[in-house]
């Protein structure tokens, strides 16, 4: 029977360097294999992978999150006792960290990132750390994070990454989306999923968004000077769409700068107070801001309703796009959304395009723009400029076709 929870656990041999000094390099290099064998004995159902000289990854499932706790207790017990190495007893200092999520709720990449974040925390605390993704950010973390969020802007801990959107027929980068990240001094990289709601709750979303806008205006100008005068989109939280002061300041900044800026807004943002939202969006459109409807399909509203918004672009939620080639229902939804949006004179962007198969299907369906890991992950501004100038050099049609198949190594610098 299918299990309800998936776990990704990382194990690090903390005293590896000391053991290597004692055992010699060749023997020490075998150590991680010995450890993987021992883990496989303790947890026969786990898939154990060696991911570094002293680091292992364990993937397994369970019925409840208690199964993870039980597994961690068994592992800690097992390695608490001395470890036999060719007849010599050695004490391994093992550190464990894990991420847990209900099956089907979390993308593999997110689970891996959370397990790594848990390991970073475990190294600081010197104890096992588990991140339960079903519970959102744990209460303690939320409290601490919210205290740290205010000063984070002033401390220059926030930065932006850019992800290109590609126009399918023109085979050209048509615009980009700026996504905010928090480089936390001790926690490492914190993604917006963990702090945007928090920022909304504590009233920091306004300052954060105005800071983002200021950055993208400056960055858009740099791109334009490079010869890439493309629109840069930012995400606007629903709460801000209702705030007159925010809208006025933001519109003023864009109008004064003459930069090509777009706002991505979600349908739920409009539903809360349609009259005010529509009025404010119209003000934005009047100063030249392009409006895109984000996460379409994830909410409840119909396209007929969205017709009232001055939006030029509709972004189909990645939930539908990710399953495009594996589900029967999603291609129908995507197809009819594209047709309807076109009838309403909107361009359609598919987000979450990860495979060539999805790309091919979307092209046939007449989707206008695509965004996703297949084209590029979100990358630093410098890497994005590099990406654009690289793209400019590609002259021939044959070279253009390689746009979607860049090697992963290209992004290592990001
Ligand atoms: P979103 O606007 O739907 O942004 C797209 C998210 O999907 C990004 O996650 C991006 O990294 C991810 N993504 C892009 N391509 C792919 C793909 O091919 N496959 C998969 N599986 N995922 C892909 P990220 O950066 O973690 O952002 C999450 C959400 O946080 C955003 O969702 C947006 O709602 C919010 N957010 C990000 N920056 C800001 C901001 O400055 N202000 C506000 N209010 N919200 C923001
Ligand atoms: Ca977005
Ligand atoms: Ca989206």
From 275, 211, 276, 283, select the one nearest 252 (Cα to Cα): 283
Considering the domain architecture, whether residues 200 and 288 belong to the same structural domain is answered as yes
Select from 114, 190, 192 the residue to mutate for testing ligand 1; criterion: most ligand atoms less than 8 Å from CB: 192
Average pLDDT over residues 382-390: 93
Output phi, psi for 297, to 5 deg.
105, -25
Q: Which domain holds residue 115?
A: 5-140
User: What percent of the chain lies above the pLDDT cut of 90?
Assistant: 62
CATH number of the domain where residue 102 is located: 3.30.70.270
Q: Decide: 97 and 121 in contact? Cβ < 8 Å.
A: yes
Residue 202 pLDDT > 70: yes
Helix axes 139-154, 205-226, angle to 10 degrees: 50
Residue 412 pLDDT > 60: no
Using CA positions, which residue lies closest to atom 10 of ligand 1? 378
Q: Which two tokens stand for residue 49?
A: 């992978």
Q: Per-residue pLDDT tens for 284-333? A: 999 999 999 998 887 666 666 778 889 999 999 998 999 898 888 788 88
Considering the domain architecture, whether residues 220 and 343 belong to the same structural domain is answered as yes
The domain boundary, picked from 111, 140, 169, lies at: 140
User: What percent of the chain lies above the pLDDT cut of 70?
Assistant: 91
Q: Per-residue pLDDT tens for 73-117? A: 999 999 999 888 888 889 999 999 999 998 877 778 889 989 998
Considering the domain architecture, whether residues 246 and 337 belong to the same structural domain is answered as yes
The domain boundary, picked from 84, 109, 140, lies at: 140
Ligand 1 pocket at CB < 6 A: 107, 163, 179-180, 191-193, 196, 209, 212, 234-235, 237, 264, 294-295, 318, 351-354, 372-373, 378
Q: What is the DSSP letter of 317?
A: P
Whether this model's pTM surpasses 0.75 = no
The domain boundary, picked from 140, 164, 182, lies at: 140
Q: What is the DSSP letter of 64?
A: S
Using CA positions, which residue lies closest to atom 27 of ligand 1? 192
Considering the domain architecture, whether residues 321 and 371 belong to the same structural domain is answered as yes
Average pLDDT over residues 376-399: 77
Q: What is the DSSP letter of 104?
A: T
**Other CB atoms within 10 A of residue 395 CB:** 8
Note the helical H segments in 63-131. 66-80, 108-125
Considering the domain architecture, whether residues 179 and 304 belong to the same structural domain is answered as yes
Please name the residues in contact with 239: beta carbons below 8 A apart, sequence gap of 6 or more: 200, 205, 269
Output phi, psi for 50, to 5 deg.
-90, 120
Residue 400 pLDDT > 80: no
Q: Which ligand is nearest to the CA of 177?
A: 2
Residue 235 Cα to ligand 2 middle (Å): 5
Considering the domain architecture, whether residues 267 and 406 belong to the same structural domain is answered as yes
Considering the domain architecture, whether residues 276 and 358 belong to the same structural domain is answered as yes
Handedness of CA 23, 26, 32, 33 (dihedral sign): negative
Considering the domain architecture, whether residues 303 and 247 belong to the same structural domain is answered as yes
Considering the domain architecture, whether residues 87 and 151 belong to the same structural domain is answered as no
Q: Which two tokens stand for residue 374?
A: 């297949």
Distance in angstroms (rounded) separating the CA atoms of residues 374 and 354: 5
- Pick the more confident residue, 230 or 405: 230
CATH number of the domain where residue 382 is located: 3.20.20.450
Residue with tokens 């706790």: 69
Q: List, as one string, the DSSP characters of 153-197.
A: HHTT-EEEEEEEEEETTTTEEEEEEEEEEEEETTTEEE-GGGTHH
Considering the domain architecture, whether residues 120 and 97 belong to the same structural domain is answered as yes
Q: How many domains does the chain have?
A: 2
- The pLDDT of residue 271: 74
Considering the domain architecture, whether residues 181 and 75 belong to the same structural domain is answered as no
Residue 386 Cα to ligand 3 middle (Å): 25
Q: Per-residue pLDDT tens for 229-267? A: 999 999 999 899 999 999 999 999 999 999 999 999 987
Considering the domain architecture, whether residues 359 and 295 belong to the same structural domain is answered as yes
């Amino acid at each position: 029977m299918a299990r309800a929870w998936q776990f990704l656990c990382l194990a690090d041999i903390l005293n590896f360097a000391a053991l290597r000094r004692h055992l010699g390099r060749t023997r020490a290099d075998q150590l991680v294999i010995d450890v993987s064998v021992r883990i496989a004995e303790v947890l026969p159902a786990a898939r154990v992978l060696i991911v570094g000289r002293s680091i292992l990854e364990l993937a397994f499932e369970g019925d409840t999150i208690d199964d993870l706790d039980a597994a961690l207790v068994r592992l800690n017990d097992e390695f608490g006792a001395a470890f036999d190495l060719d007849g010599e007893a050695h004490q391994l200092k093992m550190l464990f960290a894990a991420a847990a999520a209900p099956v089907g709720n979390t993308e593999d990449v997110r689970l891996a990132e959370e397990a790594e974040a848990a390991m970073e925390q475990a190294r600081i605390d010197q104890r096992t750390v588990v991140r339960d993704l079903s519970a959102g950010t744990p209460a303690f973390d939320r409290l601490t994070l919210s205290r740290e969020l205010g000063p984070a802007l002033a401390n220059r801990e926030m930065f932006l990454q850019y992800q290109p959107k590609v126009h399918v027929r023109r085979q050209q980068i048509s615009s980009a989306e700026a996504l905010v990240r928090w480089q936390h001094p001790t926690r490492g990289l914190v993604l917006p999923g963990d702090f945007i709601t928090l920022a909304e709750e504590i009233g920091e979303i306004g300052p954060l968004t105005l800071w983002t806008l200021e950055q993208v205006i400056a960055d858009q100008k740099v791109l334009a000077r490079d010869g890439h005068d493309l629109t840069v989109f930012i995400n606007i939280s629903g709460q801000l769409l209702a705030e007159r002061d925010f809208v006025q300041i933001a519109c003023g900044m864009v109008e004064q700068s003459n930069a090509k800026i777009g706002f991505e807004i979600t349908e739920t943002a409009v539903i809360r107070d349609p009259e005010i939202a529509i009025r404010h969006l119209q003000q934005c459109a009047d100063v030249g801001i392009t409006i895109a409807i984000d996460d379409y399909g994830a909410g409840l509203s119909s396209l007929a309703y969205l017709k009232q918004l001055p939006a030029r672009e509709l972004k189909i939620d990645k939930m539908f796009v990710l399953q495009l080639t594996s589900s029967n229902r999603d291609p129908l939804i995507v197809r009819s959304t594209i047709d309807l949006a076109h009838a309403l004179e909107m361009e359609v962007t598919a987000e979450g395009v990860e495979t060539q198969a999805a790309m091919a299907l979307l092209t046939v369906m007449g989707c206008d723009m695509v965004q996703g890991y297949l084209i590029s992950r979100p990358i630093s501004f410098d890497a994005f400029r590099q990406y654009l100038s690289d793209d400019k050099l590609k002259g021939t049609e044959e070279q253009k076709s390689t746009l979607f198949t860049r090697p992963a190594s290209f992004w290592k610098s990001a």
